[in-house]
Amino acid sequence: MVRQLCAAIITLVTVITLTPLRAQDAVGKDDKGKSESRIPIQSRFSSDFKITENYFNRRIDSGGAGDVLEVELIIQNLTDKPQDLYIFAVATTEKVEKTKSSFERPIPEKEKMRSFVPYPENMANFEYDVPEKSGSKSLIAYPKNPREGIDPSTGKPYTLKVNDKLVVRTYHLSRYRKDFKFFNFLTVIIFNSEGNPVFKQKYEIEGVRR
Q: Calculate ∠ Cα 186-191-192, nearest 5°.
A: 150
Decide which of 109 and 76 is more confident. 76
Cβ-contact 12, 59 below 8 angstroms: yes
Q: Give the model's pLDDT for residue 161.
A: 96
- Please check the confidence at residue 137 and state whether its pLDDT lies above 90: no
The vertex-201 CA angle with 55 and 41, nearest 5°, equals 150
pLDDT at 75: 97
pLDDT (tens digit per residue) in 152-195: 999 999 999 998 999 999 999 999 998 899 999 999 999 999 99
* Position 130 confidence tier, pLDDT thresholds 50, 70, 90: confident
How high is the mean pLDDT of the chain?
80
User: What's the chain's Rg over C-alpha atoms?
Assistant: 18
